[in-house]
Amino acid sequence: MKTDVLIIGGGLAGAATAYFLAREGVDVLLAERFDLNTQASGANAGNLHIQIPHETFVTEGDNWAREFAPTIPLMLESVKLWTEIGDDIGCDLGVSTTGGLLVANSEHEMRDISRKAAIEQRWGARIELLGRNEVRACAPYISRDVVGGAFCPDEGRANPLTATPGFAAAASRHGARIVRNTEIHALSQTGGRFTACTRDGAIEARRVVNCAGADAGSVAGMLGINLPIEGHPIQMTVTEPVKPIVPHLVYAASEKLTLKQMNNGTFLIGGGWPATRRGTDGKLAVSLASLRDNLRVALSVVPALANVHIVRTWPAIVNGTADWKPVLGEVPGHAGFFVNVFPWMGFSAGPISALIVAELVLGRRPSFDLKRFSAMRYG
Ligand SMILES: Cc1cc2nc3c(=O)[nH]c(=O)nc-3n(C[C@H](O)[C@H](O)[C@H](O)COP(=O)(O)OP(=O)(O)OC[C@H]3O[C@@H](n4cnc5c(N)ncnc54)[C@H](O)[C@@H]3O)c2cc1C
């Protein structure tokens, strides 16, 4: 098979990049080793984040946050895209932006929140600091132990089950070819052309976009490129549907928590609690200790959850980078080889990362300063 642009990976990054290129008339072939949307993009919580993750702020510190904060303009633009793009691709993405509320149980946590908010505001995020009574007024479902918080009105949620398939279907309508069950197991570059080896033969391409999520490091390694992308097993829990109680995306400053109620009444509860790898093949399993602790934190913030049954908990691998920053763009010294990896919050950032990388493949000037997000930082 021959193509102009080969996209490796059929998660949100790959499907959205395929869409933005195909709609410009580019000849695109997307190869996915399993089926579309079977990894992080289909297993995630669907939160649309803008705020800097609080736990990481506390563990990594203010300097880290200042380095990371240039991702905020990308997140803002991505959430805007989320609210618009469903019409373009003809898909209900289940987007709702009713705001994200980070709550504190102590004055100490409140001081951390306000230092983080100052950094976020500097990069354009709308963050409102709230006292105890203001939290109660805006979110009466929150525990009385909460002393205050920060509210970002632009955060929300979208549906991970429809997003990647929606982008992929729209890409196909614009002529993109999508091949499933097709793992790229070797990749080489000679004379400005790439050859990708699959079980069913070679794919030749003029350009390659690496959208392999947690495996993007292995794909880059096929060309001898050092790209230290991590994969961390984490887990999510969904409850039975109940009447509407919580309109916001809720976080806790005390421990890992993200929590929200979906349109169908179910709660999705997570926050990055670790799952377990089992046996010699590293199969993922739910950690009961994480489940217990995740639910304990959830209950302490939203006491009404005490009456709600959980239905399912599942593990999945999240793509990570040590500095939490994305890797976006052409790899220096490897003309024609592009990377689209947005770690940890790659669902929120999926549309903008894909649009940026597509612009770069099209030879256009990107609308953001991408210096900090180059693969160059790995030497
Ligand atoms: C439990 C969980 C909850 C999360 N919650 C949120 C959230 O609420 N909000 C948020 O913003 N982010 C969240 N994330 C992170 C987010 O899901 C990811 O950052 C994002 O989905 C990454 O998208 P991707 O397309 O890069 O990767 P993936 O969806 O993992 O897709 C990569 C694809 O590449 C394929 N692939 C890999 N190697 C090859 C190869 N050699 N050949 C062919 N195909 C290959 C894989 O099979 C896979 O389908 C969460 C992640 C997890 C696991």
Tens-digit pLDDT profile for residues 297-317: 999 999 999 999 999 999 999
- Mean pLDDT, rounded, for 189-202: 96
Q: Which domain holds residue 71?
A: 47-158+231-320
**Average pLDDT for the chain:** 97
Are 181 and 314 within one domain? no
CATH code (residue 261) = 3.30.9.10
Are 165 and 32 within one domain? yes
pLDDT of residue 172: 98
- Mean pLDDT, rounded, for 126-134: 98
CB of 339 closer than 6 angstroms to any ligand 1 atom: no
Are 189 and 311 within one domain? no
Are 253 and 106 within one domain? yes
pLDDT of residue 20: 98
Are 147 and 188 within one domain? no
CATH code (residue 21) = 3.50.50.60
Are 124 and 218 within one domain? no
Task: Name the percent of the chain lying above pLDDT 70.
Answer: 100
Tell me, letter by letter, the H, E, C secondary structure of the chain. CEEEEEEECCCHHHHHHHHHHHCCCCCEEEECCCCCCCCHHHHCCCEECCCCCHHHHHHHCHHHHHHHHHHHHHHHHHHHHHHHHHHHHCCCCCCECCCEEEEECCHHHHHHHHHHHHHHHHCCCCCEEEEHHHHHHHCCCCCCCCCEEEEECCCEECCHHHHHHHHHHHHHHCCCEEECCCCCCEEEEECCEEEEEECCEEEEEEEEEECCHHHHHHHHHCCCCCCCCEEEEEEEEEECCCCCCCCCEEEECCCCCEEEECCCCCEEEECCCECEEECCCCEEECCHHHHHHHHHHHHHHCHHHHHCCEEEEEEEEEEECCCCCCEEEECCCCCCEEEEECCCCCCCCHHHHHHHHHHHHCCCCCCCCCHHHCHHHHC
Please give the distance, rounded to the nearest whole angstrom, from the Cα atom of residue 347 to the centre of ligand 1: 8
**Structural domain ending residue among the three candidates 301, 320, 339:** 320
Whether pLDDT at 318 is above 90:
yes
Closest ligand 1 atom to the C-alpha of 236? 1
Summarize pLDDT for 72-83 with one digit per residue, the tens. 999 999 999 999
Q: Which of 318, 338, 340, 348 best tests ligand 1's pocket when mutated (most atoms within 8 Å of CB)?
A: 318
pLDDT band at 202 (very low <50, low <70, confident <90, very high): very high
Whether pLDDT at 152 is above 90:
yes
Please give the distance, rounded to the nearest whole angstrom, from the Cα atom of residue 318 to the centre of ligand 1: 6
**Structural domain ending residue among the three candidates 302, 320, 338:** 320
pLDDT of residue 24: 98
Are 129 and 85 within one domain? yes
pLDDT of residue 278: 86
pLDDT of residue 81: 98
Are 214 and 314 within one domain? no
**Structural domain ending residue among the three candidates 320, 340, 365:** 320
Summarize pLDDT for 243-283 with one digit per residue, the tens. 999 999 999 999 999 999 999 999 999 999 999 998 788 89
Domain count for the chain: 2
Please give the distance, rounded to the nearest whole angstrom, from the Cα atom of residue 350 to the centre of ligand 1: 10
Are 101 and 35 within one domain? no
Residue with CA closest to ligand 1 atom 12? 345
